[in-house]
Amino acid sequence: MIKLFNRLILFFIPHLPLFFVRFVAGRYVAGESCEEAFEVVRKLNAKGFMATIDILGEHTRTKHTAFMITQKYCELFDAIKRRKLDCNISVKPSHIGLDIGEQILRENLLKLVGKAAESGNFLRIDMENSKTTDITLKLADECLAKYDSVGTVLQAYLFRTEDDLKERVGPKLNVRLCKGIYRESPDIAIQDRHEINKNYLKVLKYLFDHEGYVGIATHDLVLLKDCLHLIRDLKVPSDRFEFQVLYGVPMSGWLEKLIKMKYKVRVYVPFGPEWYAYSIRRLQENPNIVGYIFNNLFRRA
């Protein structure tokens, strides 16, 4: 029944008035301009949170557009430094050229790596669906060889993730560990939520038992508490990890609790003119989000 309800709402969302979709997205997107995003980051920093910003958009089709987006990211690195914000940058490979070709993506990533080094900041190379995993990891490894403050993302629901981690553990490793949001085949990805959580904790423990830094990215409070138990049981130093969440997602006061525990918390802050297309794509890729968004929309109202 819930799945049917979600899919019915999903069918109607693209036909809803723009102002209504903007109202829904407003909770989760920090506006269209970099100034709006920086204001959100400033407020987060004042509360003790770190941030990551990301220009919304995926699947760029032309070299020129990919180049211009890369330039915007370079400008963001400069602006973050000028404003002295506690904030780094995350970029989706398909936004800066992956769909055009590997060489275009490589050139743009290396430009961003150079700017990250120049500004003394960190670059996160985001992970998209499983078709992009190999090329993303390959280029992330190349970038890390040129500059230490580069990291990528591993998705706990993929069967391959533990092996991918084992190939990369070491003092330079900085990985964001998430469950994974893209719908993937049972042949390559765990489908059951509880089994995904078990694998998440297994991968996290392996990392803690070896070397590397991890962004523990989850909104699942059960998993969050299990991660905290693991940290305490293994006596993991707080400089080995941080917690990461998406801007606007309710966490029942747990973000403030983590800050009080002296743990680091980073908030992912997306912004940009493509907020509408981004919101619709996310809903189409995972219809289960629909009920969650509408539930929080009515709470907000």
What positions carry a catalytic annotation?
126, 176
Own/partner contacts of 164-167, CB < 8 Å, gap of 24 or more, are: 164/133, 164/137, 165/203, 165/206, 165/207, 166/206
Give me the residue label for tokens 């743009």: 108
Here the tokens at position 282 are: 């996310």
Here the tokens at position 177 are: 């560990």
CA-based diameter of the chain, in Å? 53
First-to-last C-alpha distance (Å) of the chain: 24
Under DSSP, is residue 121 helix (H, G, I), strand (E, B) or coil? coil
Under DSSP, is residue 280 helix (H, G, I), strand (E, B) or coil? helix
Task: Report d(CA 192, CA 292) in Å as an integer.
Answer: 19
Give me the residue label for tokens 């275009």: 104
**Residue 253, Ramachandran bin (φ over 0: left; ψ between -120 and 50: alpha; else beta):** left
DSSP states along 4-61? HHHHHHHHHGGGS-HHHHHHHHTTTS--SSHHHHHHHHHHHHHTT-EEEEEE------
How many CA atoms lie less than 13 Å away from 173 in the CB half-sphere?
A: 25
